[in-house]
Structure 1
């Protein structure tokens, strides 16, 4: 798309919006300004292409389409069928998966579909045979009562939140922690790395129905062949949540034993983050689970979002291009450069480095909580998120860590030199941040003070780099 056409398109869109609610148009312009002028280092964020963004703003948004391709509960869904089938086709080809389901609205939705699909599959084979039924539709109410009781006692083993797992991997306040009798595996207390022997020992003791692998804040790769061996040994289903690192799988940075798709019975992901698509989810599965996952609607989901599935198709098509592999490799290389930049300046990292797209910084060495560090960095134009670290003394709200990710700034064109400079700026901010006090004068886990002039010099240094790598170059909003 030419610069003139891109600018004309978005200005006209905002003009139409402003005639109805000008404050929304103003906020949209402000969001682009903010994203252009800040160092976006949140590991779960990226920048979607104009083609992907524009695809979401169409009349597919107006269509209900419960059901599956060719089998809808509403008439007139032939065009939704087309875009959903394309999204699934691109996902299968991109990840080498036998089956793909493009309907989930988010990663959490994808995980819920996966959980219930696995439970349904377990019920049907051999649970249905015990009840003398061929499929779930033949079950009586008393049968369902019996099954509900059995399913209520099912077990899930997932990665602990402070070790880098996600809320949906069995965290007690989350629905996943309420659906299942859950236990969690952590990381080695000395190295912060996954100990596969310890995971296997816990699996043998706990005997889970489902083992969840994957992470949201673990800065290393996982050997999924080993995780499958553990699952097979205890008769568990292996589910992998690759929402964070799907782009590295798609870009063939993770291959062999580090590619989860051949080893997991069911794999879930988001379509944004490192995959650089619209906000949404996908479920990939081995053929034996396809029929169960296909019942995601109405089992868990309502009407699928046709406009988002269309955008998924566009983004997945982009990810199948050769240049995406270059991008994915750059994401991983830049994370190493960021980690090395921190270490060379005396900062402490969980696991001592990274080999994916995440760098997890322990800010307790600066005398700060994660919340204080996050706030001080935001004042300086560095957008991050606080995150728990293993055995975090400050808990999940204040935390002792800051999570950094390289996908977004890599999309803008940042390379190793720029990420080394980012590390320098971050360390400078943290060294010049002190702990604030409560109204009573006691040290506060939230309050902080940033030394005079630090925010201004960080903004200036950031602007110098960001100007070299403009976001959506050629897009000029009136």
Structure 2
């Protein structure tokens, strides 16, 4: 394949020139964002770098087309090209993950999870209720029947991992719509090991009897045994829903196989496409045939008009993920996370669960006398981009937190290897060791302010830039 970097450079440069002719502040912000990403250690576990082909696919005429509905059954005329785009993206998703059905319309991971939840409710609650009431569709229901249906929906239960244990807002968190749609119960992790206790989870599920058992995580640094999750779901008659937004790339890249691959065990799977999968920002849903018709009603059930340009970009990224090169990348993500964890542990950091076997690590910042927010800010000042995160039984809550989450997908995309991540670990521990919390004006310990040893931020930033100079982001791309 010819080197298309020069062609891409011209394309991006010309595009920015056109943008600047209308609103130069926007073109300046786009250039600045590239410079910022090139010059900082990007360690946010939920971020990555999409390919130039994927990025270019987002800006085109498909964005101007309304296409509510499904392939071949749209509510607008002239959608033949959107049908092609959606068909290709869904085909790549099915083949990549070995799924029976794929739905690529969701705009985000939260949208994908909402589609999944409502599809399960429709399949498991609405359809049986309609049959019991002698109605073919909801349009046949009388107002009193609607009250029965709403009561059936609202009585349903969901059980997912708690936020402080590593779950996501959409797994039943009370302030999220998922915690309002359902009666919810959260499961945590073992207080000593930080690992999922499957026996306790089974006991809790038997007592709570959820309609939906949610597996998957946002900040759990270990793999999940989905065969055990399937057994637990079956034991209580629950639907197994897996949110693999964080680790989809490790599934696609054949790093997670056997009982660690959710696809053979789950009824419905949702994911984003932009984290470890390295695609555009968006979501998708995979399902067994039992739930395919219900998932296919995502628009208009939950979604509005699909973003056709983003579906096109998903198709490109999913095609890239079907290559052996992507499998090598995915394995490197996991290997680099192990190297990062080992490097942090050797330098005295405490990691939740004591390490990692996926793509992320979670540092307990209290061992450095810092809140997660102080640690995040000190690292950012030093050119290291992370995000604060709750840890199990977090005393500082979800805003200040007591942890920092760090992931390897983005820097692995730049080509960093195990030795480089050991150097990254040295920088991180150096900054956290050199940071001191500042007491608030009330005399109480502050949760946000900090100080750094003189010159430490500048030295670390220079060290990070020297490392990144060896691994240029989008090499050859000049703007």
Match of 2:92 in 1: 90
Of stretches 125-134 and 290-299 in structure 1, the one that deviates more from structure 2 is 125-134
Once residues 365 and 443 of structure 1 are traced to their aligned partners in structure 2, the CA distance between those partners, rounded to angstroms, is 15
> What secondary structure does 1:54 align onto?
helix
Q: 1:278 aligns with which of 274, 277, 280?
A: 280
> What secondary structure does 1:275 align onto?
coil
Match of 1:64 in 2: 66
Structure 1, residues 92-112: CA drift from partner, whole Å, max 9, x if none?
Answer: 000000000000000000000
Q: Report the Cα offset of residue 460 of structure 1.
A: 1.4
Match of 2:253 in 1: 251
Match of 2:163 in 1: 161
Please give the residue correspondences for 1:110-129 in structure 2 after superposition, counting only pairs within 5 Å.
110-129=112-131
Match of 2:342 in 1: 340
Once residues 4 and 340 of structure 1 are traced to their aligned partners in structure 2, the CA distance between those partners, rounded to angstroms, is 39
When normalised by structure 1's length, the TM-score is 0.99
2:239 is the alignment partner of 1:237: yes
Structure 1, residues 205-244: CA drift from partner, whole Å, max 9, x if none?
Answer: 0000100000000000000011011001101100000000
Match of 1:220 in 2: 222
Residues 137, 256 of structure 1: alpha-carbon distance in 2 compared, 3 angstrom cutoff: farther
Match of 1:2 in 2: 4
Match of 2:271 in 1: 269
> What secondary structure does 2:276 align onto?
helix
Match of 2:478 in 1: 476
Structure 1, residues 143-199: CA drift from partner, whole Å, max 9, x if none?
Answer: 222110111111010000000000000000000000000000000000000000011
Q: Report the Cα offset of residue 461 of structure 1.
A: 1.1
Match of 1:171 in 2: 173
Match of 1:413 in 2: 415
Q: 1:444 aligns with which of 443, 446, 449?
A: 446
Aligned residues of 2:125 and 2:152 also touching (Cα < 8 A): no
Structure 1, residues 390-413: CA drift from partner, whole Å, max 9, x if none?
Answer: 000001000000000000000000
2:201 is the alignment partner of 1:211: no
Q: Report the Cα offset of residue 422 of structure 1.
A: 0.3
Once residues 321 and 137 of structure 1 are traced to their aligned partners in structure 2, the CA distance between those partners, rounded to angstroms, is 46
Match of 1:30 in 2: 32
Q: 2:380 aligns with which of 378, 381, 388?
A: 378
Structure 1, residues 239-261: CA drift from partner, whole Å, max 9, x if none?
Answer: 00000000000000001110001
Q: Report the Cα offset of residue 124 of structure 1.
A: 4.4
Q: Report the Cα offset of residue 125 of structure 1.
A: 4.7
2:356 is the alignment partner of 1:321: no
Aligned residues of 1:223 and 1:257 also touching (Cα < 8 A): yes
Once residues 117 and 2 of structure 1 are traced to their aligned partners in structure 2, the CA distance between those partners, rounded to angstroms, is 42
Q: Report the Cα offset of residue 136 of structure 1.
A: 3.7
2:355 is the alignment partner of 1:353: yes
Match of 1:46 in 2: 48
Once residues 276 and 139 of structure 2 are traced to their aligned partners in structure 1, the CA distance between those partners, rounded to angstroms, is 40
The Cα RMSD (Å) is: 0.9
Aligned residues of 1:217 and 1:403 also touching (Cα < 8 A): yes
Structure 1, residues 431-471: CA drift from partner, whole Å, max 9, x if none?
Answer: 00000122344321001001111111111111111011000
Once residues 440 and 167 of structure 1 are traced to their aligned partners in structure 2, the CA distance between those partners, rounded to angstroms, is 32
Please give the residue correspondences for 1:185-196 in structure 2 after superposition, counting only pairs within 5 Å.
185-196=187-198
Q: Report the Cα offset of residue 137 of structure 1.
A: 4.2
Aligned residues of 1:348 and 1:361 also touching (Cα < 8 A): yes
Aligned residues of 2:126 and 2:149 also touching (Cα < 8 A): no
Once residues 476 and 222 of structure 1 are traced to their aligned partners in structure 2, the CA distance between those partners, rounded to angstroms, is 42
Aligned residues of 1:6 and 1:474 also touching (Cα < 8 A): no
> What secondary structure does 1:361 align onto?
strand
**Which structure 1 residue ranges, 4+ long, deviate > 6 Å from structure 2?**
none
Aligned residues of 2:156 and 2:211 also touching (Cα < 8 A): yes
Please give the residue correspondences for 1:424-435 in structure 2 after superposition, counting only pairs within 5 Å.
424-435=426-437
Match of 2:294 in 1: 292
Aligned residues of 2:43 and 2:411 also touching (Cα < 8 A): yes
Once residues 466 and 46 of structure 2 are traced to their aligned partners in structure 1, the CA distance between those partners, rounded to angstroms, is 25
> What secondary structure does 1:162 align onto?
coil
Once residues 25 and 293 of structure 1 are traced to their aligned partners in structure 2, the CA distance between those partners, rounded to angstroms, is 38
Q: Report the Cα offset of residue 123 of structure 1.
A: 2.2
Q: Report the Cα offset of residue 133 of structure 1.
A: 2.5
Once residues 338 and 443 of structure 1 are traced to their aligned partners in structure 2, the CA distance between those partners, rounded to angstroms, is 30
> What secondary structure does 1:301 align onto?
coil
Structure 1, residues 5-42: CA drift from partner, whole Å, max 9, x if none?
Answer: 22211111100000100000000000000000000000
Q: Which runs of 5+ in 1 are unaligned?
A: none
